[in-house]
Amino acid sequence: MNVLDLARLQFAVTGSLHFLFVVLTLGLAPLVAIMQTRHAITGRPIFARMTRFWGQIYVINYALGIFTGLVMEFQFGLSWSGLTHYAGDVFGAPLAIETLVAFFLESTFLGLWIFGWNRLPKGLHLACIWLVTLTAYASAFWIMAANSFLQNPVGSVLRDGRLVLTDFGALLTNPTFVMALPHVLGAGMFAGSFVIIGASAYHLFRRTAEQEFFRRSLRTGVVWAFIGSTLTIGFGYAQFGFIGALQPHKFEGVLPGLALGLMITIGQLTQFAVMLVLLPLLIRDVLARARWLHPILMLMTPLPFVAAILGWLTREVGRQPWLIYGRLGVADAMTPGLTKGMVTLSFAAFAGVLGLLALVDYLLIARTVRRGPGQADLGAPAPDGPGRAAAPALSL
């Protein structure tokens, strides 16, 4: 394996690990906001407990995911400086907006939401989680706009050997962006819902004391898994026409073709299972009582994440050998002077850090799930007074 192939493999591995955090963040944020909205409307304590429990899992994933994003940003400058030199004025614009506006706003609103339990007025506290969701979606918006430019470099011209942005609106109406964004957002909701389904099935199977809590959580997960899978598959198929016109050879390689086929198979089989089996079994809580199905639901939990990674590989590997399709080759985008030893060292470091973060994320989420909502720290009142909120330890 030469230095170019090693650098590509490094980005594929680290990008896939980072995407796992992104998908779960995009999926859980709106679901937690919906749970808190139901509490605000009905005043029922169970919805407040659902918000705290699933919100704690969201915060754990978000906190660790920040570090994986920093690693991804660092790689652009370390291994792919040719991209920055050639197209930094265009490619960097949406990424800069995402960092300066969406990401910082998301972190700010999330901090207000975490520490605002029992301190902020209920309406303002509810607004914070919805703003977290909207800014998370805004982050996805700008990142997908930047990625779509790599797929179809619209709105730019070549001047003095560099791409210059001439039409910002073209970036936002790029056909490889318009349908891809809701596809990714649907995939996030699909994955987040299956985390709720799998965790709920675990407690229902073990017949823990929180049966009513997890019956309602299971119902929420199944309904939104159906909505998320429908968005994902619908907008996924909607992309085939213009992708075939813009990148006619995208799916001809072995890896893109295999990844695409597996992604479609997993997505459709999972959606059919949700639509034809799980949704009907919600009637009279048959699904919650069908203990023989619960281990199957637990085993199905990773499937939307696997499909998401396969989709990402299809989108990225399928445009090779281009980094910017038709404009800049992958080999030309590499940082000059990189040696195999340097890339091997950075590969081991990046993959090791991200792999460790992914493992810690899984262990912390699994621990939180096993402990159940009775030991959720998020929003718990301080022992020295009912009106004060404890600083959340979040089981870290």
Q: What is the DSSP string of 290-340?
A: -GGGHHHHHHHTTHHHHHHHHHHHHHHHTTTTEEETTTEEHHHHSPTT--H
**What is the per-residue DSSP string for 100-152?**
IIIIHHHHHHHHHHHHTTTTS-HHHHHHHHHHHHHHHHHHHHHHHHHHHHHHS
Exposure pattern of 159-186 as b/e (b: 16+ CB <10 Å)? eeeebebeeeeebbebbbbbbbbbbbbb
Please give the angle made by the CA atoms of 207, 208 and 211, to the nearest 5 degrees: 80
pLDDT per residue as tens, the chain (396 positions) = 889 999 999 989 999 999 999 999 999 999 999 999 999 999 999 999 999 999 999 999 999 988 888 777 777 778 888 998 899 889 888 888 888 777 788 999 999 999 999 899 999 999 999 999 999 999 999 999 999 999 999 999 999 889 999 999 999 999 999 999 999 999 999 999 999 999 999 999 999 889 999 999 999 999 999 999 999 999 999 998 888 889 988 888 888 889 899 999 999 999 999 999 999 999 999 999 999 999 999 999 999 999 999 999 999 998 889 999 999 999 999 998 888 999 999 899 989 999 999 999 999 999 999 999 988 788 776 555 444 444 343 433
Predicted model pTM: 0.92
List phi, psi (to 5°) of 381: -70, 150
Eight-state DSSP code of residue 159: E
**What is the per-residue DSSP string for 262-291?**
HHHHHHHHHHHHIIIIIHHHTGGGHHHH-G
Eight-state DSSP code of residue 205: H
